[in-house]
Amino acid sequence: MLESYYLGQLKNLHKTAKTLFSNKLQEYLRREGAEFVAASSDSKKEAIRFFLEGAKAIRLEDTDWEYDEERYQLERELQELSAEQREKEIAKMMAGLERRLKKELNDPIKLALDSPGPGMWGRVITIYKGEMEDTETLLHKKAKTFEMDQEELKSLVENMRMQGWVLATMKIQEECVDGLILYKLLNRFEEKFQRDERGLPRVWKPEDDIDTPYRKARDEVRCHNDQCSVFQWNASCQLL
């Protein structure tokens, strides 16, 4: 009869140890600079220590009662809990990197597209590549805290690259919608037509050649409009 109570207490210790592990793991992960592997390991040690101390305290002397099987089961379940939490933390890390990447891409790409002209798309690609390099560097750094193997890390990097391209393309398409791109083109035309090479306002005189500056500004705007359409088509093809 006492042994049945003993087994019941072991189950209670088992349940409490799992709760202790989860609480401790969350507590460690909330700390700045926390590393998942270290946090999980320390949490497991505390949970196992709690279980063993409790099991030893309730075991009666001169009995053959053991708790090895219960300890084995606890360790296996803690490993499963750790794996589940690891997946959640990795997903959280990737979501955070995606939010950061989107923020770092949006404003620079918008500024580049607000100044249409030769080299504009080169600036956009430079922005994209630079931010992707920074993001991948940060991803590699954070991945070390999870002790990932090369295959897992490679998969995450590929996913981040694809997501980065999607974010960049979405921002470009957002800035190149018909109404907005016409507004940008009109501003560009007015800037080129109404200002000289030094950026100073033109003061027109009756004898001035107006047609040449007009055609030059118009042709540059047309060129930019064609480039925007081509880029959108190429971007769509690459995504597919």
pLDDT digits (tens, 9 = 90+) for 219-231: 766 655 555 544 4
Which pLDDT score is estimated for 234? 46
Please give the Cα distance from 129 to 195 (Å, whole number).
33
| Closest among 11, 36, 16, 12 to 26, alpha carbons compared | 36
Residue 67 three-state SS = coil
Mean pLDDT across the stretch 74-92? 95
CB 113 within 8 A of CB 172: yes
Total-model pTM: 0.73
3-state secondary structure of 201: strand
How many angstroms separate the CA atoms of 211 and 65, rounded?
102
- Arithmetic mean of pLDDT, 19-43: 93
Helices then strands, counting H and E runs in the chain, come out as 7, 0
- Contact status, residue 113 vs residue 53, Cβ threshold 8 Å: no
Structural contact between residues 75 and 41, judged by C-beta atoms closer than 8 angstroms: no
Per the model's pLDDT, the better-predicted residue between 203 and 42 turns out to be 42
Q: What is the pLDDT of residue 224?
A: 54
Q: Is 13 exposed, middle or buried (0-12, 13-18, 19+ CB in 10 A)?
A: buried
3-state secondary structure of 148: coil
CA-based radius of gyration for the chain: 31
Beta bridge partners of 201: 195
Strands (E), 96-165: none
Which pLDDT band holds residue 186 (cuts at 50, 70, 90)? confident
Q: Is the pLDDT of residue 235 over 50?
A: no
Q: Mean pLDDT for the chain?
A: 84
Hey, what's the torsion of the CAs at 153, 129, 234, 167, to 10 degrees?
A: 70
